[in-house]
Amino acid sequence: MQNTPSIAIIGGGPGGLTLARILHLHGIKATVFERDAHALTRPQGGSLDMHSETGQRALQLSGLHDAFQALARYGDQGNRAYAPDGTLLFDDPNPDGDQPEIDRSQLRQILLNALPRDCVRWDQKVAALRALPDGRHALAGAGIEGVAFDLVVGADGASSIVRPLLSSARPAYEGVTMFELGIDDIDQRYPALSALSGHGKMFVKGSNTLLAAQRNSNAHVRLYAAVRMPLDAVRSYSTISAETKTWLANIFAGYAAPFRELIEVGTLLAVRPMLALPVGHRWSNQPGLTLIGDAAHLMSPFGGEGANGAMADAADLALLLARGGDWRAAVAAYEAMMFPRAEAAAFGAGQGLQGAVAEDDPDHVARHMQETVSLRPDR
Ligand SMILES: Cc1cc2nc3c(=O)[nH]c(=O)nc-3n(C[C@H](O)[C@H](O)[C@H](O)COP(=O)(O)OP(=O)(O)OC[C@H]3O[C@@H](n4cnc5c(N)ncnc54)[C@H](O)[C@@H]3O)c2cc1C
């Protein structure tokens, strides 16, 4: 039996690039097909905190610990919660924490810098996969007709085109939509708002609304204004427009003035209905195909596990493939390892979302932060 399969990775997000990097370190060639035209073609989204047992471990296994440490922001691990009237409910600057932040674009660049130049094929959107009689799968899409691989890894996120070949599950709307806004250079332009949101994450929980602010590098702050709303209503406010911004400001009109000002000065960047795959999503192993990251276990960001989980999946799959032996068994072993980890994370993320954007329990977020602090080993 052939021990080293030819490998296609569909998607160059945190999961796909980590997989390619660790395989590369072990002398296994993989080709990443990425629909983006280049690394910075679209804003990559807000900052990510890297957890020690998942994201950071994957970076270590990628040989990129030092590159990560050079950019990791340990000073941006604070957690703060306010009531909508401005009362401070919880504040922990947490400089000694071990979940430092890194901008998504920086993380992508670290991984790309460590890959051979021909590893990532940019501007190559895979439109379809076709099973061949010899067990391989051929990829189809503009400019990629006819290439076939022994193993195709779907690292292609929420709308994976690989997933339907393995599972009938579809992401479902979780009842909450996030309006993402950005504020550049907040320290200079809005020092009072900078002091309010602090160095890390800030949350303000209202009734069926939540305003979160997250500090990125270069004094950029990302705002996530979450609103519980039916999907039909989302369709009316899904455009990046002045109308959407005005509607959003009205939704948060009951919040204290500085929180309203954050929304007012923020530039609307994206409207994201929160979608999730069923908790415990899994599939029967099929030779030649598997999934990692959001493609396998899309969940809300409320556990902070999405990118971390994608990188943990990548590390586990890469290490199992690198052991040699029957690569098909390695893929099955990876899936058996990943399913329970993803189930626990998805359960937590679902609970987090439903508790944080709810009608009642105004202290929910502050209490959760307090519980997290009391679980730290140094307490
Ligand atoms: C608002 C928000 C905040 C978040 N905050 C956090 C956080 O703090 N911590 C955390 O761990 N996670 C967070 N997440 C989740 C995190 O972003 C995802 O879980 C993570 O990006 C998943 O990585 P991935 O590699 O599986 O998929 P993705 O990052 O989605 O990457 C998929 C890649 O595949 C490419 N692609 C898709 N389809 C195709 C195709 N057909 N052909 C070729 N290429 C294709 C895409 O262009 C993309 O580059 C957040 C998510 C959101 C929405």
* 364, two tokens: 């929910």
pLDDT digits (tens, 9 = 90+) for 194-238: 999 999 999 999 999 999 999 999 999 999 999 999 999 999 999
- Is pLDDT of 168 > 50? yes
202 CA → ligand 1 middle, Å: 22
Which position has the higher pLDDT, 190 or 371? Answer: 190
Q: Is the CB of 100 under 6 A from ligand 1?
A: no
* 237, two tokens: 């406010």
Separation of alpha carbons 105 and 96, rounded Å: 24
Q: Is the CB of 352 under 6 A from ligand 1?
A: no
133 CA → ligand 1 middle, Å: 32
Q: Is the CB of 78 under 6 A from ligand 1?
A: no
From atom 19 of ligand 1, which residue's Cα is the shortest distance away?
306
From atom 37 of ligand 1, which residue's Cα is the shortest distance away?
156
- Is pLDDT of 44 > 80? no
pLDDT at 376: 67
pLDDT at 374: 75
Q: How many CB atoms lie within 10 A of CB 199?
A: 18
pLDDT band at 2 (very low <50, low <70, confident <90, very high): low
Q: Is the CB of 84 under 6 A from ligand 1?
A: no
294 CA → ligand 1 middle, Å: 6
Separation of alpha carbons 25 and 90, rounded Å: 43
Q: Is the CB of 222 under 6 A from ligand 1?
A: no
- Is pLDDT of 270 > 90? yes
Atom of ligand 1 nearest to the CA of 292: 26
pLDDT digits (tens, 9 = 90+) for 65-103: 999 999 999 999 999 999 999 999 999 988 888 999 999
pLDDT at 1: 45
pLDDT at 43: 63
Q: How many CA atoms lie within 13 Å of 199's alpha carbon, on the beta-carbon side?
A: 13
Instruction: Calculate what percentage of the chain has a pLDDT beyond 90.
Output: 87
378 CA → ligand 1 middle, Å: 33
Mutate to test the pocket of ligand 1, among 48, 108, 126, 298 (most ligand atoms within 8 A of CB): 48
Beta bridge partners of 272: 178
Which position has the higher pLDDT, 14 or 374? Answer: 14
Per DSSP bridges, beta strands 200-205 and 78-82 are: parallel
Mean pLDDT for 134-146 is: 91
pLDDT at 127: 96
Residue with tokens 């994450």: 201
List phi, psi (to 5°) of 235.
-60, -30
SS3 annotation, the chain: CCCCCCEEEECCCHHHHHHHHHHHHCCCCEEEECCCCCCCCCCCCCEEECCHHHHHHHHHHCCCHHHHHHHCEHHHCEEEEECCCCCEEEEECCCCCCCCEEEHHHHHHHHHHCCCCCCEECCCCCCEEEECCCCCEEEECCCCCCCEECEEEECCCCCCCCHHHCCCCCCEEEEEEEEEEEECCHHHHCHHHHHHHCCEEEEEECCCEEEEEEECCCCCEEEEEEEECCHHHHHHCCCCCHHHHHHHHHHCCCCCHHHHHHHHHCEEEEEEEEEECCCCCCCCCECCEEECCHHHHCCCHHHCCHHHHHHHHHHHHHHHHHCCCCHHHHHHHHHHHHHHHHHHHHHHHHHHHHHHCCCCCCCHHHHHHHHHHHCCCCC
pLDDT at 232: 93
| Contact by Cβ (8 Å): 358, 175 | no
pLDDT at 285: 98
Q: Is the CB of 318 under 6 A from ligand 1?
A: no
**What integer best gives the mean pLDDT of the chain?**
94
pLDDT band at 246 (very low <50, low <70, confident <90, very high): very high
Separation of alpha carbons 308 and 58, rounded Å: 9
90 CA → ligand 1 middle, Å: 30
Q: Is the CB of 35 under 6 A from ligand 1?
A: yes
Separation of alpha carbons 141 and 290, rounded Å: 19
pLDDT at 137: 97
Beta bridge partners of 138: 130, 148
pLDDT band at 304 (very low <50, low <70, confident <90, very high): confident
Residue with tokens 């691989």: 149
- Is pLDDT of 375 > 80? no
pLDDT band at 247 (very low <50, low <70, confident <90, very high): very high
C-alpha 239: how far from its chain's center? Answer: 22
Lowest mean pLDDT among 137-151, 183-197, 215-229: 137-151
Closest to 62 in 3D by CA, of 252, 319, 355, 295 = 319
